[in-house]
Amino acid sequence: MPYVGPAPSNRLASAADIEAGAVDSSELASGAVDIAHLSATGTASSSTFLRGDNSFASAGLTGVTTGSGNVTITSGNLIVASGNGVDFSATSDGTGTDSSELLDDYEEGTFTPTMYGDTTAGTPNYDARGGAYTKIGQLVHFTCYIRMNSLTSAAGALCIGGLPYTSNSNSVGTLCPLLTDTVAWTNVEGGADYLMGNLWASDTVVGIMEVTDDAAWAYVESAAAIASTDQIYLSGSYRV
């Protein structure tokens, strides 16, 4: 039968022949198009998903595995934005008053301790010194050592300074054990029974105190206490 007008073309329909929105779910029977007939790069499988850039990609996150309710990072770190952390509020609480159940900081590093007199700092000559700290949440733990050659012209309480963080204003009563080597305790106002570091509130200072049986506690006088080769090892934990 002859056509009137141009003969119909037998070319395949192209995207230009189908208007945008012309085919929607009402024109397609359920299951009419399966994954195998979608054009995308990559491999369709039970472990891949179709991404918005028209490619099949592995499900999950690189370096992260999940299973049995656990999330495991097999490579890399969990990076928490500043001000956020790990929330433990779902766990049972102690009998005290909670102030926070958010673990929001961890850091480790070094610091440089100093030795001086409180009234007059004096001139320290260090043979060796060093300190290390670990901060977990609001608690700082530190260890340090100082070996002196001399501390001249110092006056007032003997102090160890240079702690890595400023202590909390409620840090009164934070004590720090210390070990001394060759420090002549007879120079400590008649000889103390033991020495103890007293960390000052809102500060970075540990004052060295002498404790003597049946006597008032007192700070060690820096002028007499320290001589060549004297060493002090000090550690402690305090809130910031």
Partner 1 sequence: MALVEKTIVDKIEVVGDFKHVQVRQDNLIVDDDTDEIKSRGNFHRYVLSPGDDLSDQPDDVAAIANAVWTDEIIAAYAAHQAEQMV
Question: Footprint of partner 1 on this chain (CB under 8 A)?
Answer: 107-112, 118, 133, 157, 162-166, 169, 198, 200-205, 207, 217-219, 240
Measured from the CB atom, the residue of 49 and 217 that comes closer to partner 1 is 217
Task: Give the nearest distance from C-beta 86 to partner 1 in angstroms.
Answer: 20
Task: Give the nearest distance from C-beta 148 to partner 1 in angstroms.
Answer: 20
Measured from the CB atom, the residue of 93 and 107 that comes closer to partner 1 is 107
Measured from the CB atom, the residue of 145 and 219 that comes closer to partner 1 is 219
Measured from the CB atom, the residue of 50 and 132 that comes closer to partner 1 is 132
C-alpha distances (whole Å) from 224 to each of 91, 117, 119 are 52, 11, 14
C-alpha distances (whole Å) from 68 to each of 71, 72, 130, 215 are 9, 11, 45, 62
- Distance from chain centroid for Cα 102: 12
Inter-residue contact 194 to 151 (CB < 8 Å): no
Task: Give the nearest distance from C-beta 136 to partner 1 in angstroms.
Answer: 14
Inter-residue contact 221 to 191 (CB < 8 Å): no
* SS3 letters across 95-126: CCCCCCCEECCEEEEEECCEEEECCECCEEEE
Measured from the CB atom, the residue of 43 and 110 that comes closer to partner 1 is 110
φ and ψ of 223, to 5 deg: -65, -35
Inter-residue contact 171 to 217 (CB < 8 Å): no
Task: Give the nearest distance from C-beta 207 to partner 1 in angstroms.
Answer: 7
Task: Give the nearest distance from C-beta 187 to partner 1 in angstroms.
Answer: 20
